[in-house]
Amino acid sequence: MARRKKIYEGKAKTLYEGPEPGTIVQYFKDDATAFNAEKRDVIEGKGVLNNLLSEFFMQGLGQIGVPTHFLKRLNMREQLVRSCEIIPLEVIVRNYAAGSMSKRLGIDEGTQLPRPIVEYCYKDDALGDPLVTEEHIAAFGWASQQDMDDILSLALRVNDFLSGVMLAVGIRLVDFKIEIGRVYDGDFQRLVVADEISPDSCRLWDIETGQKLDKDVFRRDLGSLTDAYTEVARRLGVMPNNPPAAGKPTLVN
């Protein structure tokens, strides 16, 4: 589609004005970043895979009644989404200890948690997206108590859905993060799952082998990120007709 005015450019996506008021075109880039963008590469085909996978998950959530900002996929790299006001929080759901939780609490990676644990981080790259409590969120007015109740409910419903989908294809959903947006219809406000759901925002481990099929492949130099994401897409049946070539990652200065 014709390129429109750029609204925002992040580490993995660029947002453009949509064709209708209240819509945005979300473009998936091939950029890969880790450690708050201290490590960067361009991984050929990554944006295509994340676009297809995020479409698959967002559509699945919609089918079970979980509201999202997703409207439709436009092409191999772009989605049409509903414009929303993003709550400045990363909502993290953990089923197994991994990553920062393991480091913080001294729990071995892969330890199953007694129940899903929901954590919140304040979205600020300059601060490193610090962990915050519901007390911080209420005190600084980032979300109301009703919002927090709704966010918790949405996060756990997403977890139930993703865990089941992944289990069916032999993948363990270790953890994931989502963002939540406010959509206004006149004076009425509702919360929706926004941004994306992809291997960029989930930890996915093969149930049999423990092989990592997520961005930890890039973070920890464990092999080809494209191969890992392609394997997830293949198992879920969402591979494109012409899969993106793996290519050699190009260092971005």
**Structural domain harbouring 58:** 6-82
Out of 82, 117, 150, a domain closes at 82
How much is the pLDDT for 251? 35
Q: Domain with 188 in it: what CATH number?
A: 3.30.470.20
Separation between Cα atoms, residue 87 and residue 170, nearest integer Å: 33
> Is position 237 within any domain?
no
Instruction: Name the domain count of the chain.
Output: 2
> Is position 121 within any domain?
yes
First to last CA, the chain: 30
Residues 42, 138, single domain; the answer is no
How much is the pLDDT for 3? 59
Residues 20, 138, single domain; the answer is no
> Is position 234 within any domain?
no
Residues 23, 117, single domain; the answer is no
Residues 214, 104, single domain; the answer is yes
Cβ partners under 8 Å of residue 93, min gap 6: 116, 117, 118, 155, 156, 158, 159, 175, 176, 177, 178
How much is the pLDDT for 14? 95
pLDDT in tens, the chain (253 residues): 455 899 999 999 999 999 999 999 999 999 998 887 678 899 999 999 999 999 999 999 999 999 999 999 999 999 999 999 999 999 999 999 999 999 999 999 999 999 999 999 999 989 999 999 999 999 999 999 999 999 999 999 999 999 999 999 999 999 999 999 999 988 889 999 999 999 999 999 999 999 999 999 999 999 999 999 999 999 999 986 555 544 433 333 3
Residues 128, 13, single domain; the answer is no
Cβ partners under 8 Å of residue 82, min gap 6: 22, 23, 24, 69, 70, 71, 183, 192
Please give the backbone phi and psi of residue 23, each rounded to the nearest 5 degrees, phi first. Answer: -125, 155
Residues 91, 78, single domain; the answer is no
> Is position 205 within any domain?
yes
